[in-house]
Amino acid sequence: MKSEAARAEFTRNTEMIGKVFSINTSKSKGVSKMPVEKVKLIENYGLENDAHAGGGIKQVSLLSIESIKKQKECPKVDKKTELKAGDFAENITTEGIKLDELKIGDRLKIGKSVELEISQIGKECHRYCSIYYRTGNCIMPKEGVFAKVIRGGEISRGEEIIIIR
């Protein structure tokens, strides 16, 4: 059992702010990812059986459902265009987290054991992706974040996400 001082220190340095809205994987790159109920994250690798997994600093990509909803409201986007979790090739679609307030080095605890470390904010697109061609805009380069898997384990849709600073 943690001491009262250790529990107070943990509480001061953490914020429970959101949950996993969707988990998304794909077998190949350059396509939308499909939702899955649960997935295994492998330390210093990424999501098991995902085309984007591997070493480096972009092992897991995250984008908020709030950003996806905002994309739907963009004047460039035809209102008939359906946008959903995974369309931006993000592995984890979050809900309730202000990803734009995260800093490199911040950590996210997901569920009971998984821990991610933010390693990159946004990205540079070298060529337009399929979502850009569908909508005329893509939010992933500005509003998505990338992380390394510090501690692996299994996560499920709906699990809580806690930021550890």
Predicted structure pTM score:
0.85
- Please report the pLDDT score of residue 29 as a whole number: 84
* Mean pLDDT calculated for residue range 138-145: 78
Q: Specify whether the CB–CB gap between 117 and 33 falls below 8 A.
A: no
Q: Specify whether the CB–CB gap between 155 and 111 falls below 8 A.
A: yes
Indicate whether 96 pLDDT > 90.
yes
Cα separation of 102 and 76, whole Å? 28
- Please report the pLDDT score of residue 136 as a whole number: 64
Cα separation of 163 and 149, whole Å? 14
Residue type, 128: Y
- Please report the pLDDT score of residue 155 as a whole number: 98
* Mean pLDDT calculated for residue range 51-56: 90
* Mean pLDDT calculated for residue range 111-121: 96
CATH superfamily of the domain spanning 4-164: PK beta-barrel domain-like (2.40.33.20)
| Selection from 123, 4, 134 nearest residue 60 by Cα | 123
Q: What is the mean pLDDT of the chain?
A: 85
Indicate whether 12 pLDDT > 80.
no
* Mean pLDDT calculated for residue range 71-87: 76
- Please report the pLDDT score of residue 30 as a whole number: 75
* Mean pLDDT calculated for residue range 62-73: 88
- Please report the pLDDT score of residue 121 as a whole number: 92
First to last CA, the chain: 22
CA 16 to each of CA 25, 51, 108, 126, 138: distance values in angstroms, whole numbers, following the listed order: 25, 30, 10, 35, 28
pLDDT, greater one: 44 or 84: 44
